[in-house]
Amino acid sequence: MTKPLLSVQNLTIDIPVGGGTLHAVRGIDFTLDRGEVLCIVGESGSGKSLTSLALMGLLGKRISCTADQMDFDGTALLEASPRKMRSLRGARMSMIFQEPMTSLNPAYTIGDQLMEAMLLHENVPRSKARARAIDLLEKVGITAAASRLGQYPHQLSGGLRQRVMIAMALMCGPELIIADEPTTALDVTIQAQILRLLVDLVREMNMAMILITHDLGVVARVADKVAVMYAGQLVETGPARDVFSQPLHPYTRGLLHCIPQPGKTARGEPLGTIPGIVPSLVGEVEGCVFRTRCEHAVPACHAAIPRRERGDHAFRCVHEDGHAPDDTRAKEATDA
């Protein structure tokens, strides 16, 4: 068995805020192999974006980030020098952000910004970088690619800009792509196109991808692995088909109830909701963070929660099967 491309153990991110510490990410573990797509799912504020920024080494100076292990192809990312991190960023691991409208520098042309990463990391002449940029713009489905190079970001629509961002991330042929809600800011009609494009390119180039999203529909279509994040913890991780067919954590089940599933959701029946709000993570947080919204909550939820594994499929819950023993409805859902 080869070593995974990326392995993260006990990643913790703390942010100092007025009057305490915000424990934004609290000890998460996951691994990723070459060619795999991992989807991290969760509500806004659950720590998904911080996790991705931590991997890229782009957290602000005030934010403290620790982990037992955070290795990218044998490089310990947390110990790496700033110079070493720079040589990885944009070259072997790159990132696509949520906001295509503001993620491009308004002062430079598309061409300059596309070529920058390649000129920074590889000793190539401008002409070669230019050819690569044109090639990639065509790959992401932009017509008249050569003439686009001289345009400025404000002359492009949001969808086009996100295509440019994707091309930019691919310039140096990275092994890992982190896409942080790459389609959220776009029109619904364009979302599917962009996502399909991104996934096709990742498969074609045999890259690993971490796709951060709150859209379970997207996850079902593209993920190899799923990690469900809630309030700074991974409450459930596993192969996509297992998580979808047999959600074990009450939160995952709640999420799946919120979207219509062909064949499972009855016509005319209202979709599920998860009552309550995400708790504050400032100060010490003990026990299960989902207990305030969980219908299976028992007093033991205030204590430490064990991690339960079923092969690759893991979750964190006091209940052995992820629901209170006497709850038949949930049992049915689990067994189905």
Interface ranges with another protein (CB under 8 A): 19, 56, 58, 82, 86-91, 94-95, 97, 99, 102-108, 113, 116-117, 120-121, 152, 154-155, 165, 168, 277, 279-280, 282, 285, 289, 291-292, 299
Decide whether 103 or 183 has the Cβ nearer to another protein: 103
The rounded distance, in Å, linking the Cα atoms of 60 and 65 is 10
Q: Residue 133 CB, nearest distance to another protein (Å)?
A: 13
Cβ of residue 248: shortest distance to another protein, in angstroms?
A: 22
Query: How near is the Cβ of 326 to another protein at its closest, in Å?
Result: 19
The nearest distance, CB 58 to another protein, in angstroms, is 6
Shortest separation between residue 303's beta carbon and another protein, angstroms: 11
Q: 167 is written with which tokens? A: 């091309």
The nearest distance, CB 104 to another protein, in angstroms, is 6
Backbone Cα Rg of the chain: 21
Give the per-residue SS3 of the chain: CCCCCEEEEEEEEEEEECCEEEEEEEEEEEEECCCCEEEEECCCCCCHHHHHHHHHCCCCCCCEEECCEEEECCEECCCCCHHHHHHHECCCEEEECCCCCCCCCCCCCHHHHHHHHHHHHCCCCHHHHHHHHHHHHHHCCCCCHHHHCCCCHHHCCHHHHHHHHHHHHHCCCCCEEEEECCCCCCCHHHHHHHHHHHHHHHHHCCCEEEEEECCHHHHHHHCCEEEEEECCEEEEEEEHHHHHHCCCCHHHHHHHHHCCCCCCCCCCCCCCCCCCCCCCCECCCCCCCCHHHCCCCCHHHHCCCCEEEECCEEEECCCCCCCCCCCHHHHHHHHC
Q: Considering the complex, state which of residue 53 and residue 226 has its C-beta at the smaller distance from another protein.
A: 53
Query: At its nearest, how many Å lie between another protein and the CB of residue 116?
Result: 6
Give the integer Cα–Cα distance in Å for 243 and 220: 10
Q: How far is the CB of 259 from another protein (least distance, A)?
A: 26
Residue 274 beta carbon to another protein: minimum distance, rounded to whole angstroms: 15
Q: Considering beta carbons, is residue 32 or 289 the nearer one to another protein? A: 289
Nearer to another protein, 243 or 289 (CB): 289
User: Residue by residue, what is the 3-state secondary structure of 280-320?
Assistant: CCECCCCCCCCHHHCCCCCHHHHCCCCEEEECCEEEECCCC
- Nearer CB in complex with another protein: 277/336: 277
Give the nearer residue to another protein in terms of CB position, either 154 or 329: 154
Nearer to another protein, 38 or 294 (CB): 294
Looking at the Cβ atoms of 103 and 252, the one nearer to another protein is 103
Residue (109 or 334) nearer to another protein, CB: 109
